[in-house]
Structure 1
Amino acid sequence: MTTNWRITINTIQEGVSQQRLVTLEGSTSPSTLRDFIGDALASARAWAEKFGRTLGSNATLQLDNEDDYYRIIGLDGSLSLDEMVEQAALERAHRQSQKQRPLGQPERLVKWRAEASSRGRAESVDFATAWQTLRGLVADVSIDSGASLQDVARVEGETGTRWTPEVRMLFTQQSGGLQLVPGFELLGLDRVLEVQQLFFDAEEFVEEQDAEIPPAAADAERPAGSPADRFLPQFIPIAEDNTGAVLVVDTRDGKLNGCVSEFSTSMGGSEALWPSIGVMVGDVITVLTSDESLLQGKYRPELREGLTWSRTR
Protein backbone atom coordinates (compact mmCIF):
# COMPACT_ATOMS: atom_id res chain seq x y z
CA MET A 1 0.00 0.00 0.00
CA THR A 2 1.37 3.39 -1.01
CA THR A 3 0.98 6.35 1.34
CA ASN A 4 1.49 9.94 0.21
CA TRP A 5 3.39 12.34 2.46
CA ARG A 6 4.35 16.02 2.61
CA ILE A 7 7.45 17.38 4.31
CA THR A 8 7.94 21.08 5.03
CA ILE A 9 11.60 21.97 5.47
CA ASN A 10 13.63 25.02 6.46
CA THR A 11 16.18 25.90 3.81
CA ILE A 12 19.01 28.40 3.72
CA GLN A 13 20.37 29.67 0.42
CA GLU A 14 24.13 30.03 0.23
CA GLY A 15 25.11 33.61 1.02
CA VAL A 16 21.66 34.42 2.46
CA SER A 17 21.09 34.17 6.21
CA GLN A 18 17.27 34.13 6.15
CA GLN A 19 15.51 30.77 6.38
CA ARG A 20 12.70 29.92 3.96
CA LEU A 21 10.10 27.16 4.05
CA VAL A 22 9.58 24.70 1.20
CA THR A 23 7.07 21.83 1.03
CA LEU A 24 7.91 18.66 -0.92
CA GLU A 25 5.60 15.75 -1.69
CA GLY A 26 6.22 12.06 -2.25
CA SER A 27 4.93 8.56 -1.59
CA THR A 28 6.22 5.50 0.22
CA SER A 29 5.13 1.87 -0.13
CA PRO A 30 6.34 0.49 3.23
CA SER A 31 4.27 1.45 6.23
CA THR A 32 6.70 2.15 9.10
CA LEU A 33 7.43 5.64 10.37
CA ARG A 34 11.13 5.01 9.73
CA ASP A 35 10.38 4.38 6.04
CA PHE A 36 8.33 7.58 5.73
CA ILE A 37 10.92 9.76 7.45
CA GLY A 38 13.78 8.10 5.57
CA ASP A 39 12.18 8.67 2.17
CA ALA A 40 11.15 12.23 3.02
CA LEU A 41 14.64 13.03 4.30
CA ALA A 42 16.25 11.60 1.16
CA SER A 43 13.91 13.70 -0.98
CA ALA A 44 14.68 16.84 1.03
CA ARG A 45 18.43 16.31 0.78
CA ALA A 46 18.22 15.64 -2.96
CA TRP A 47 16.23 18.85 -3.43
CA ALA A 48 18.69 20.87 -1.33
CA GLU A 49 21.67 19.52 -3.26
CA LYS A 50 20.02 20.17 -6.62
CA PHE A 51 19.23 23.81 -5.83
CA GLY A 52 22.28 24.66 -3.74
CA ARG A 53 20.51 25.08 -0.42
CA THR A 54 21.32 24.02 3.13
CA LEU A 55 18.73 22.21 5.24
CA GLY A 56 17.80 23.61 8.62
CA SER A 57 17.48 21.31 11.62
CA ASN A 58 13.68 21.09 11.85
CA ALA A 59 10.87 19.93 9.56
CA THR A 60 7.28 18.73 9.75
CA LEU A 61 5.96 15.58 8.08
CA GLN A 62 2.29 14.90 7.37
CA LEU A 63 0.85 11.67 6.01
CA ASP A 64 -2.31 11.42 3.94
CA ASN A 65 -5.45 10.53 5.92
CA GLU A 66 -3.89 11.76 9.16
CA ASP A 67 -4.95 15.01 10.83
CA ASP A 68 -1.83 15.40 12.95
CA TYR A 69 1.81 15.73 11.91
CA TYR A 70 5.30 14.65 13.00
CA ARG A 71 7.89 17.22 14.03
CA ILE A 72 11.30 16.07 12.85
CA ILE A 73 14.55 17.41 14.27
CA GLY A 74 18.13 16.69 13.23
CA LEU A 75 17.93 17.13 9.45
CA ASP A 76 21.19 19.06 9.65
CA GLY A 77 23.02 15.84 10.54
CA SER A 78 22.93 16.29 14.31
CA LEU A 79 20.84 13.11 14.75
CA SER A 80 20.85 9.70 13.10
CA LEU A 81 17.77 8.48 11.23
CA ASP A 82 16.79 6.16 14.10
CA GLU A 83 17.13 9.04 16.58
CA MET A 84 14.98 11.29 14.40
CA VAL A 85 12.28 8.61 14.16
CA GLU A 86 12.29 8.05 17.92
CA GLN A 87 12.12 11.78 18.70
CA ALA A 88 9.33 12.37 16.16
CA ALA A 89 7.19 9.56 17.58
CA LEU A 90 7.73 10.64 21.19
CA GLU A 91 7.02 14.32 20.48
CA ARG A 92 3.78 13.55 18.66
CA ALA A 93 2.60 11.13 21.35
CA HIS A 94 3.27 13.73 24.04
CA ARG A 95 1.55 16.49 22.04
CA GLN A 96 -1.55 14.35 21.48
CA SER A 97 -1.73 13.46 25.17
CA GLN A 98 -1.90 17.16 26.02
CA LYS A 99 -4.79 17.94 23.73
CA GLN A 100 -8.36 18.49 24.79
CA ARG A 101 -9.58 17.26 21.41
CA PRO A 102 -8.01 15.94 18.19
CA LEU A 103 -6.34 18.43 15.91
CA GLY A 104 -8.48 19.20 12.87
CA GLN A 105 -7.35 19.76 9.34
CA PRO A 106 -5.68 23.15 8.73
CA GLU A 107 -8.31 25.81 8.12
CA ARG A 108 -8.00 27.48 4.78
CA LEU A 109 -8.57 31.14 4.36
CA VAL A 110 -11.35 30.31 1.93
CA LYS A 111 -13.67 30.36 4.96
CA TRP A 112 -13.16 34.10 5.20
CA ARG A 113 -14.72 34.48 1.80
CA ALA A 114 -17.96 32.78 2.83
CA GLU A 115 -18.04 34.75 6.07
CA ALA A 116 -17.53 38.06 4.28
CA SER A 117 -20.16 37.25 1.66
CA SER A 118 -22.72 36.50 4.36
CA ARG A 119 -22.46 40.04 5.68
CA GLY A 120 -22.88 41.62 2.26
CA ARG A 121 -19.31 42.65 1.61
CA ALA A 122 -18.69 45.13 -1.17
CA GLU A 123 -17.35 43.57 -4.35
CA SER A 124 -15.32 46.65 -5.30
CA VAL A 125 -13.12 48.87 -3.12
CA ASP A 126 -10.69 51.51 -4.37
CA PHE A 127 -7.28 50.32 -3.23
CA ALA A 128 -5.68 53.76 -2.94
CA THR A 129 -8.49 55.04 -0.71
CA ALA A 130 -8.55 51.88 1.40
CA TRP A 131 -4.78 51.91 1.88
CA GLN A 132 -4.73 55.51 3.04
CA THR A 133 -7.47 54.67 5.55
CA LEU A 134 -5.47 51.67 6.77
CA ARG A 135 -2.36 53.80 7.12
CA GLY A 136 -4.31 56.19 9.33
CA LEU A 137 -5.37 53.32 11.59
CA VAL A 138 -2.13 51.34 11.80
CA ALA A 139 1.16 52.70 13.08
CA ASP A 140 3.73 50.52 11.32
CA VAL A 141 6.98 51.67 9.73
CA SER A 142 6.63 49.02 7.02
CA ILE A 143 3.72 50.91 5.44
CA ASP A 144 5.38 54.32 5.48
CA SER A 145 7.02 53.75 2.11
CA GLY A 146 7.75 51.10 -0.47
CA ALA A 147 9.70 50.56 -3.67
CA SER A 148 10.10 53.02 -6.49
CA LEU A 149 8.00 52.74 -9.64
CA GLN A 150 11.19 51.94 -11.56
CA ASP A 151 12.01 49.01 -9.29
CA VAL A 152 8.43 47.74 -9.45
CA ALA A 153 8.54 47.85 -13.25
CA ARG A 154 11.86 45.97 -13.25
CA VAL A 155 10.59 43.15 -11.02
CA GLU A 156 7.31 42.97 -12.95
CA GLY A 157 9.31 42.51 -16.13
CA GLU A 158 11.39 39.73 -14.57
CA THR A 159 8.25 37.79 -13.62
CA GLY A 160 7.19 37.79 -17.27
CA THR A 161 3.60 38.51 -16.24
CA ARG A 162 1.59 41.71 -16.55
CA TRP A 163 0.65 42.89 -13.06
CA THR A 164 -2.58 44.59 -12.11
CA PRO A 165 -2.43 48.27 -11.09
CA GLU A 166 -3.23 47.24 -7.50
CA VAL A 167 -0.20 44.96 -7.30
CA ARG A 168 2.08 47.71 -8.57
CA MET A 169 0.64 50.20 -6.10
CA LEU A 170 0.86 47.74 -3.18
CA PHE A 171 4.62 47.40 -3.56
CA THR A 172 5.11 51.16 -3.79
CA GLN A 173 3.20 51.66 -0.53
CA GLN A 174 4.87 49.15 1.84
CA SER A 175 8.17 47.35 2.34
CA GLY A 176 6.96 44.05 3.81
CA GLY A 177 6.37 42.71 7.30
CA LEU A 178 2.85 43.96 8.06
CA GLN A 179 0.57 41.13 9.22
CA LEU A 180 -2.38 42.38 7.20
CA VAL A 181 -4.41 39.21 7.85
CA PRO A 182 -3.87 36.58 10.58
CA GLY A 183 -0.73 34.55 10.00
CA PHE A 184 0.30 36.26 6.75
CA GLU A 185 2.90 39.02 6.47
CA LEU A 186 3.02 41.21 3.39
CA LEU A 187 6.05 40.77 1.16
CA GLY A 188 8.34 43.57 0.14
CA LEU A 189 9.23 43.86 -3.53
CA ASP A 190 12.64 42.32 -2.89
CA ARG A 191 11.02 39.00 -1.91
CA VAL A 192 8.67 38.50 -4.88
CA LEU A 193 11.12 36.82 -7.25
CA GLU A 194 12.68 34.74 -4.47
CA VAL A 195 9.32 33.37 -3.31
CA GLN A 196 8.26 32.61 -6.88
CA GLN A 197 11.52 30.76 -7.52
CA LEU A 198 11.08 28.63 -4.39
CA PHE A 199 7.75 27.40 -5.72
CA PHE A 200 9.10 26.91 -9.25
CA ASP A 201 11.99 24.86 -7.82
CA ALA A 202 9.55 22.71 -5.85
CA GLU A 203 7.39 22.23 -8.98
CA GLU A 204 10.42 21.16 -11.01
CA PHE A 205 11.45 18.69 -8.35
CA VAL A 206 7.95 17.18 -8.17
CA GLU A 207 7.84 16.84 -11.97
CA GLU A 208 11.12 14.92 -11.92
CA GLN A 209 9.76 12.54 -9.27
CA ASP A 210 6.35 11.99 -10.92
CA ALA A 211 6.24 11.84 -14.71
CA GLU A 212 2.44 11.47 -14.68
CA ILE A 213 1.70 14.75 -12.91
CA PRO A 214 -0.68 16.93 -14.99
CA PRO A 215 1.04 19.80 -16.84
CA ALA A 216 0.83 23.30 -15.39
CA ALA A 217 -0.62 24.53 -18.70
CA ALA A 218 -3.98 23.00 -17.77
CA ASP A 219 -4.23 25.23 -14.69
CA ALA A 220 -2.91 28.24 -16.59
CA GLU A 221 -5.76 28.02 -19.09
CA ARG A 222 -8.45 28.14 -16.41
CA PRO A 223 -10.01 31.53 -15.55
CA ALA A 224 -8.71 33.63 -12.67
CA GLY A 225 -10.09 32.51 -9.33
CA SER A 226 -10.14 28.82 -10.29
CA PRO A 227 -8.36 26.40 -7.92
CA ALA A 228 -4.95 25.31 -9.23
CA ASP A 229 -2.83 22.30 -8.38
CA ARG A 230 0.35 23.90 -9.75
CA PHE A 231 2.07 27.19 -8.96
CA LEU A 232 1.80 29.39 -12.04
CA PRO A 233 3.82 32.35 -13.35
CA GLN A 234 0.49 34.23 -13.28
CA PHE A 235 0.49 34.00 -9.47
CA ILE A 236 2.14 37.08 -7.96
CA PRO A 237 2.96 36.45 -4.27
CA ILE A 238 2.06 39.32 -1.95
CA ALA A 239 2.16 37.71 1.52
CA GLU A 240 3.56 34.58 3.22
CA ASP A 241 3.01 32.64 6.43
CA ASN A 242 5.39 30.40 8.38
CA THR A 243 4.12 27.10 6.98
CA GLY A 244 5.04 27.53 3.33
CA ALA A 245 1.75 29.06 2.15
CA VAL A 246 1.41 32.37 0.32
CA LEU A 247 -1.30 34.77 -0.71
CA VAL A 248 -1.11 35.47 -4.43
CA VAL A 249 -2.79 37.81 -6.85
CA ASP A 250 -4.17 35.74 -9.72
CA THR A 251 -3.45 37.48 -13.03
CA ARG A 252 -4.99 34.83 -15.26
CA ASP A 253 -7.66 36.02 -17.67
CA GLY A 254 -11.27 36.14 -16.57
CA LYS A 255 -13.76 38.18 -14.57
CA LEU A 256 -11.75 37.64 -11.38
CA ASN A 257 -8.44 38.84 -12.82
CA GLY A 258 -6.64 40.45 -9.88
CA CYS A 259 -8.31 38.36 -7.17
CA VAL A 260 -6.43 37.17 -4.08
CA SER A 261 -6.04 33.42 -3.45
CA GLU A 262 -4.01 31.19 -1.14
CA PHE A 263 -1.44 28.69 -2.43
CA SER A 264 0.77 26.06 -0.82
CA THR A 265 2.68 23.19 -2.38
CA SER A 266 0.92 20.68 -0.15
CA MET A 267 -2.66 21.91 -0.71
CA GLY A 268 -2.48 23.67 -4.05
CA GLY A 269 -4.39 26.86 -4.79
CA SER A 270 -7.69 27.91 -3.30
CA GLU A 271 -10.58 29.58 -5.06
CA ALA A 272 -10.65 33.38 -4.89
CA LEU A 273 -10.68 34.66 -1.31
CA TRP A 274 -11.17 38.32 -2.26
CA PRO A 275 -12.02 39.74 -5.70
CA SER A 276 -9.20 42.29 -5.33
CA ILE A 277 -6.52 43.59 -2.98
CA GLY A 278 -8.71 46.61 -2.35
CA VAL A 279 -11.56 44.45 -1.06
CA MET A 280 -9.13 42.53 1.15
CA VAL A 281 -7.86 45.77 2.71
CA GLY A 282 -11.45 46.98 3.01
CA ASP A 283 -12.39 43.85 4.99
CA VAL A 284 -9.49 44.47 7.38
CA ILE A 285 -10.59 48.09 7.86
CA THR A 286 -14.13 46.90 8.64
CA VAL A 287 -12.80 44.64 11.38
CA LEU A 288 -10.53 47.39 12.74
CA THR A 289 -13.42 49.84 13.03
CA SER A 290 -16.14 47.49 14.30
CA ASP A 291 -16.74 44.59 16.64
CA GLU A 292 -16.41 42.04 13.86
CA SER A 293 -13.74 39.33 13.69
CA LEU A 294 -12.04 37.34 10.94
CA LEU A 295 -12.03 33.59 10.30
CA GLN A 296 -15.48 32.82 11.67
CA GLY A 297 -15.01 35.05 14.67
CA LYS A 298 -11.74 33.43 15.74
CA TYR A 299 -9.37 36.40 15.30
CA ARG A 300 -9.54 39.96 16.55
CA PRO A 301 -7.06 42.70 15.60
CA GLU A 302 -4.84 44.41 18.13
CA LEU A 303 -3.32 47.84 17.50
CA ARG A 304 -0.24 48.45 19.58
CA GLU A 305 3.07 48.93 17.80
CA GLY A 306 1.46 47.92 14.54
CA LEU A 307 -1.24 45.43 13.57
CA THR A 308 -1.35 42.00 15.21
CA TRP A 309 -4.07 39.38 15.61
CA SER A 310 -5.17 37.42 18.66
CA ARG A 311 -7.23 34.26 18.76
CA THR A 312 -10.55 34.77 20.51
CA ARG A 313 -11.26 31.09 21.14
Structure 2
Amino acid sequence: MIAWDLTVFYRRGDTGGGQGLHGLSNSDSVVQAARDAARAAREWADRTGSTIKAVPGRLLINGVQGPIDLPGLDGSSSLDEVAAGAEDALHQWQVQQRPAVPEYESASAIEPEDDGTAPRSVSRGGELTVLWQDLAATAALEDVAAGATDDDLDAAENHTGYQWPDEVRELFQLQGGGIEIVPMFRLLSLDETLTTWDMWTQINDDLRERWPGGSAPDEAAIRSAPAGSPAEVFIPDL
Protein backbone atom coordinates (compact mmCIF):
# COMPACT_ATOMS: atom_id res chain seq x y z
CA MET A 1 0.00 0.00 0.00
CA ILE A 2 1.38 3.40 -1.00
CA ALA A 3 0.47 6.78 0.47
CA TRP A 4 0.65 9.65 -2.01
CA ASP A 5 0.50 13.42 -1.64
CA LEU A 6 -0.04 15.54 -4.76
CA THR A 7 0.16 19.32 -5.18
CA VAL A 8 -2.00 20.52 -8.09
CA PHE A 9 -1.66 23.99 -9.59
CA TYR A 10 -4.96 25.40 -10.82
CA ARG A 11 -6.99 28.35 -12.09
CA ARG A 12 -10.48 29.21 -10.92
CA GLY A 13 -12.01 32.28 -12.51
CA ASP A 14 -9.52 35.14 -12.09
CA THR A 15 -7.63 33.41 -9.30
CA GLY A 16 -5.46 30.37 -8.91
CA GLY A 17 -3.04 28.63 -6.64
CA GLY A 18 -1.90 25.25 -5.42
CA GLN A 19 -4.09 22.55 -3.90
CA GLY A 20 -2.81 19.63 -1.83
CA LEU A 21 -4.47 16.25 -2.34
CA HIS A 22 -3.59 12.98 -0.64
CA GLY A 23 -4.74 9.41 -0.52
CA LEU A 24 -3.81 5.74 -0.39
CA SER A 25 -3.30 3.30 -3.25
CA ASN A 26 -4.13 -0.34 -2.50
CA SER A 27 -1.28 -1.35 -4.77
CA ASP A 28 2.44 -1.20 -3.96
CA SER A 29 3.06 0.00 -7.51
CA VAL A 30 4.27 3.58 -7.93
CA VAL A 31 2.63 3.61 -11.36
CA GLN A 32 -0.74 2.74 -9.83
CA ALA A 33 -0.30 5.31 -7.06
CA ALA A 34 0.49 7.98 -9.68
CA ARG A 35 -2.57 6.94 -11.69
CA ASP A 36 -4.75 7.17 -8.56
CA ALA A 37 -3.32 10.60 -7.75
CA ALA A 38 -3.92 11.87 -11.31
CA ARG A 39 -7.47 10.56 -11.27
CA ALA A 40 -8.11 12.26 -7.90
CA ALA A 41 -6.74 15.54 -9.28
CA ARG A 42 -9.12 15.50 -12.24
CA GLU A 43 -12.08 14.56 -10.05
CA TRP A 44 -11.18 17.43 -7.71
CA ALA A 45 -11.00 19.86 -10.65
CA ASP A 46 -14.41 18.75 -11.94
CA ARG A 47 -15.94 18.97 -8.47
CA THR A 48 -14.61 22.47 -7.74
CA GLY A 49 -14.95 23.95 -11.24
CA SER A 50 -11.20 24.44 -11.47
CA THR A 51 -8.87 24.23 -14.46
CA ILE A 52 -5.57 22.48 -13.76
CA LYS A 53 -2.63 24.46 -15.09
CA ALA A 54 -0.40 22.99 -17.76
CA VAL A 55 2.52 22.71 -15.32
CA PRO A 56 3.70 19.52 -13.59
CA GLY A 57 2.04 18.56 -10.36
CA ARG A 58 4.35 17.60 -7.52
CA LEU A 59 3.94 14.02 -6.28
CA LEU A 60 5.28 12.78 -2.94
CA ILE A 61 5.34 9.03 -2.23
CA ASN A 62 5.00 7.66 1.31
CA GLY A 63 5.78 11.06 2.76
CA VAL A 64 9.54 10.77 2.21
CA GLN A 65 10.23 10.03 -1.48
CA GLY A 66 10.11 12.94 -3.89
CA PRO A 67 8.50 15.20 -4.70
CA ILE A 68 8.70 14.30 -8.39
CA ASP A 69 7.17 16.09 -11.35
CA LEU A 70 3.88 14.70 -12.64
CA PRO A 71 3.10 16.45 -15.96
CA GLY A 72 -0.08 16.11 -17.99
CA LEU A 73 -2.59 16.59 -15.18
CA ASP A 74 -4.29 19.33 -17.23
CA GLY A 75 -5.73 16.69 -19.57
CA SER A 76 -3.04 16.93 -22.24
CA SER A 77 -2.08 13.32 -21.37
CA SER A 78 -4.12 10.26 -20.50
CA LEU A 79 -4.03 8.82 -16.98
CA ASP A 80 -1.86 5.97 -18.24
CA GLU A 81 0.56 8.43 -19.83
CA VAL A 82 0.69 10.54 -16.67
CA ALA A 83 1.46 7.47 -14.58
CA ALA A 84 3.93 5.87 -17.02
CA GLY A 85 6.76 8.29 -16.26
CA ALA A 86 6.28 8.31 -12.50
CA GLU A 87 8.29 5.17 -11.76
CA ASP A 88 11.26 6.35 -13.84
CA ALA A 89 11.06 9.82 -12.28
CA LEU A 90 11.08 8.34 -8.78
CA HIS A 91 14.02 6.10 -9.70
CA GLN A 92 15.97 9.12 -10.90
CA TRP A 93 15.10 10.96 -7.68
CA GLN A 94 16.39 8.00 -5.62
CA VAL A 95 19.64 7.92 -7.61
CA GLN A 96 20.16 11.62 -6.90
CA GLN A 97 19.86 11.00 -3.16
CA ARG A 98 22.74 8.54 -3.05
CA PRO A 99 25.94 10.18 -1.82
CA ALA A 100 28.87 9.92 -4.20
CA VAL A 101 31.65 7.71 -2.82
CA PRO A 102 35.16 8.80 -3.90
CA GLU A 103 37.15 6.12 -5.72
CA TYR A 104 39.74 5.97 -2.96
CA GLU A 105 37.12 5.31 -0.29
CA SER A 106 35.12 2.19 0.38
CA ALA A 107 31.37 2.57 0.73
CA SER A 108 31.56 0.10 3.63
CA ALA A 109 34.54 1.65 5.40
CA ILE A 110 34.70 0.92 9.12
CA GLU A 111 34.12 4.00 11.24
CA PRO A 112 36.82 4.70 13.84
CA GLU A 113 35.85 4.20 17.45
CA ASP A 114 34.83 7.32 19.33
CA ASP A 115 37.59 8.06 21.84
CA GLY A 116 35.67 10.94 23.35
CA THR A 117 37.85 13.64 21.79
CA ALA A 118 35.90 14.16 18.54
CA PRO A 119 33.78 17.34 18.44
CA ARG A 120 30.06 16.79 18.79
CA SER A 121 27.19 19.06 17.80
CA VAL A 122 24.49 18.79 20.44
CA SER A 123 21.70 21.35 20.26
CA ARG A 124 19.73 22.24 23.35
CA GLY A 125 17.39 25.14 24.00
CA GLY A 126 19.23 28.37 23.18
CA GLU A 127 22.32 26.67 21.76
CA LEU A 128 20.52 26.06 18.48
CA THR A 129 20.35 29.82 17.94
CA VAL A 130 24.12 30.06 18.42
CA LEU A 131 24.71 27.29 15.89
CA TRP A 132 22.31 28.99 13.49
CA GLN A 133 24.19 32.27 13.81
CA ASP A 134 27.46 30.45 13.09
CA LEU A 135 25.91 29.06 9.90
CA ALA A 136 24.63 32.49 8.93
CA ALA A 137 28.15 33.88 9.29
CA THR A 138 29.31 31.47 6.56
CA ALA A 139 26.65 32.80 4.12
CA ALA A 140 24.99 29.37 4.19
CA LEU A 141 21.60 30.83 5.08
CA GLU A 142 20.93 33.39 2.36
CA ASP A 143 17.31 34.35 1.68
CA VAL A 144 15.94 32.50 4.70
CA ALA A 145 12.21 33.04 5.17
CA ALA A 146 11.10 34.66 8.41
CA GLY A 147 10.38 32.26 11.24
CA ALA A 148 7.18 31.66 13.15
CA THR A 149 5.93 33.78 16.05
CA ASP A 150 5.08 32.48 19.51
CA ASP A 151 1.40 32.85 18.61
CA ASP A 152 1.94 30.77 15.44
CA LEU A 153 3.65 28.04 17.44
CA ASP A 154 1.03 28.06 20.19
CA ALA A 155 -1.66 27.62 17.54
CA ALA A 156 0.33 24.78 15.94
CA GLU A 157 0.69 23.01 19.28
CA ASN A 158 -3.03 23.40 19.93
CA HIS A 159 -3.75 21.99 16.46
CA THR A 160 -1.77 18.81 17.16
CA GLY A 161 -2.77 18.54 20.81
CA TYR A 162 0.83 17.98 21.93
CA GLN A 163 3.40 20.17 23.67
CA TRP A 164 6.41 20.59 21.38
CA PRO A 165 10.02 20.43 22.64
CA ASP A 166 11.70 23.80 23.13
CA GLU A 167 14.28 22.96 20.43
CA VAL A 168 11.54 22.34 17.85
CA ARG A 169 9.87 25.66 18.63
CA GLU A 170 13.26 27.36 18.45
CA LEU A 171 13.98 25.89 15.00
CA PHE A 172 10.68 27.19 13.60
CA GLN A 173 11.35 30.61 15.13
CA LEU A 174 14.69 30.79 13.32
CA GLN A 175 13.45 30.00 9.81
CA GLY A 176 10.35 29.63 7.66
CA GLY A 177 11.30 26.53 5.66
CA GLY A 178 12.31 26.02 2.06
CA ILE A 179 16.09 25.81 2.59
CA GLU A 180 18.55 22.92 2.54
CA ILE A 181 20.97 22.80 5.48
CA VAL A 182 21.90 19.25 4.49
CA PRO A 183 21.88 18.68 0.69
CA MET A 184 18.67 17.09 -0.61
CA PHE A 185 16.88 17.55 2.75
CA ARG A 186 14.65 20.63 2.69
CA LEU A 187 13.39 22.16 5.93
CA LEU A 188 9.61 22.41 6.05
CA SER A 189 7.75 25.55 6.99
CA LEU A 190 5.36 25.44 9.93
CA ASP A 191 2.36 25.28 7.56
CA GLU A 192 3.94 22.43 5.56
CA THR A 193 4.68 20.57 8.78
CA LEU A 194 1.06 20.81 9.91
CA THR A 195 -0.19 19.78 6.45
CA THR A 196 2.07 16.71 6.53
CA TRP A 197 1.00 15.89 10.09
CA ASP A 198 -2.67 16.16 9.06
CA MET A 199 -2.06 13.92 6.05
CA TRP A 200 -0.45 11.12 8.06
CA THR A 201 -3.00 11.41 10.86
CA GLN A 202 -5.78 10.96 8.30
CA ILE A 203 -3.92 8.01 6.77
CA ASN A 204 -3.75 6.48 10.27
CA ASP A 205 -7.52 6.83 10.59
CA ASP A 206 -8.05 5.29 7.15
CA LEU A 207 -5.79 2.35 8.00
CA ARG A 208 -7.58 1.66 11.28
CA GLU A 209 -10.84 1.28 9.38
CA ARG A 210 -9.25 -1.30 7.08
CA TRP A 211 -7.65 -3.49 9.75
CA PRO A 212 -9.89 -6.34 10.92
CA GLY A 213 -11.21 -5.94 14.45
CA GLY A 214 -8.54 -6.42 17.11
CA SER A 215 -5.64 -6.57 14.63
CA ALA A 216 -4.56 -2.89 14.65
CA PRO A 217 -0.98 -2.29 15.91
CA ASP A 218 -0.53 -1.53 19.61
CA GLU A 219 0.51 2.15 19.52
CA ALA A 220 1.49 2.13 23.21
CA ALA A 221 3.96 -0.71 22.52
CA ILE A 222 5.32 1.12 19.47
CA ARG A 223 5.93 4.26 21.53
CA SER A 224 7.80 2.32 24.22
CA ALA A 225 10.08 0.52 21.73
CA PRO A 226 13.72 1.65 21.37
CA ALA A 227 14.41 4.53 18.98
CA GLY A 228 14.79 3.34 15.40
CA SER A 229 12.44 0.37 15.79
CA PRO A 230 10.02 -0.29 12.90
CA ALA A 231 6.56 1.24 13.33
CA GLU A 232 3.52 0.06 11.42
CA VAL A 233 1.71 3.37 11.89
CA PHE A 234 2.47 7.08 12.08
CA ILE A 235 2.96 8.21 15.70
CA PRO A 236 1.34 11.68 15.93
CA ASP A 237 3.25 12.85 19.01
CA LEU A 238 6.57 12.17 17.30
TM-score w.r.t. structure 2 length? 0.58
Instruction: Compute the RMSD of aligned alpha carbons.
Output: 5.0
Q: What residue number does 2:103 align with?
A: none
Note the C-alpha offset of 1:25.
4.7
Q: What residue number does 1:228 align with?
A: 231
> Any conservation in 2 of the 1:59–1:75 contact (CA below 8 Å)?
no
- Secondary structure, counterpart of 1:141 in structure 2: coil
**Structure 1 pair 198–82 and aligned structure 2 pair: CA distance change class (3 A):** closer
Q: What residue number does 1:140 align with?
A: 142
Structure having the higher strand fraction is 1
**Structure 1 pair 182–9 and aligned structure 2 pair: CA distance change class (3 A):** same
Q: What residue number does 2:27 align with?
A: 27
CA distance in structure 1 between the aligned counterparts of 2:113 and 2:180, rounded to whole angstroms: 22
CA distance in structure 1 between the aligned counterparts of 2:195 and 2:148, rounded to whole angstroms: 16
Note the C-alpha offset of 1:166.
0.7
Note the C-alpha offset of 1:120.
3.9
Q: What residue number does 2:196 align with?
A: 195
CA distance in structure 1 between the aligned counterparts of 2:39 and 2:181, rounded to whole angstroms: 34
Note the C-alpha offset of 1:162.
1.5
Q: What residue number does 1:41 align with?
A: 35
> Any conservation in 1 of the 2:144–2:179 contact (CA below 8 Å)?
yes
CA distance in structure 2 between the aligned counterparts of 1:214 and 1:133, rounded to whole angstroms: 43
What is the one-letter code of the residue matched to 1:124? V
> Unpaired segments of 5 or more residues in structure 2?
63-67, 100-106
Note the C-alpha offset of 1:169.
1.1
Q: Deviations over 1:205-264 (max 9, x none)?
A: 4444554553544433435554433222113xxxxxxxxxxxxxxxxxxxxxxxxxxxxx
- Secondary structure, counterpart of 1:128 in structure 2: helix
What is the one-letter code of the residue matched to 2:144? S
Equivalent residues in 2 for 1:272-283, closer than 5 Å: none
Equivalent residues in 2 for 1:81-120, closer than 5 Å: 81=79, 83-84=81-82, 87-88=84-85, 92=88, 120=118
Q: Deviations over 1:14-43 (max 9, x none)?
A: 998236585745337xxxx9xx84576347
What is the one-letter code of the residue matched to 2:78? S
CA distance in structure 2 between the aligned counterparts of 1:227 and 1:24, rounded to whole angstroms: 20
CA distance in structure 1 between the aligned counterparts of 2:234 and 2:113, rounded to whole angstroms: 27
**Structure 1 pair 181–127 and aligned structure 2 pair: CA distance change class (3 A):** same
> Any conservation in 1 of the 2:8–2:21 contact (CA below 8 Å)?
no
What is the one-letter code of the residue matched to 1:147? A
Q: What residue number does 2:156 align with?
A: 155
> Unpaired segments of 5 or more residues in structure 1?
63-69, 236-313
Give the number of aligned pairs: 204
Equivalent residues in 2 for 1:1-313, closer than 5 Å: 6=2, 8-12=4-8, 17-18=17-18, 24-27=24-27, 37=31, 41-42=35-36, 45=39, 74-75=72-73, 77-81=75-79, 83-84=81-82, 87-88=84-85, 92=88, 120-122=118-120, 124-125=122-123, 126-138=127-139, 139-142=141-144, 145-209=146-210, 211=212, 214=217, 216-235=219-238
RCO higher in structure (CA 8 A, sep ≥6): 1
Percent identity at matched positions? Answer: 30
CA distance in structure 2 between the aligned counterparts of 1:21 and 1:107, rounded to whole angstroms: 28
> Any conservation in 2 of the 1:178–1:185 contact (CA below 8 Å)?
yes
**Structure 1 pair 121–205 and aligned structure 2 pair: CA distance change class (3 A):** farther
> Any conservation in 2 of the 1:59–1:73 contact (CA below 8 Å)?
no
CA distance in structure 1 between the aligned counterparts of 2:70 and 2:147, rounded to whole angstroms: 38
What is the one-letter code of the residue matched to 1:191? E
Note the C-alpha offset of 1:167.
0.8
CA distance in structure 2 between the aligned counterparts of 1:116 and 1:189, rounded to whole angstroms: 38
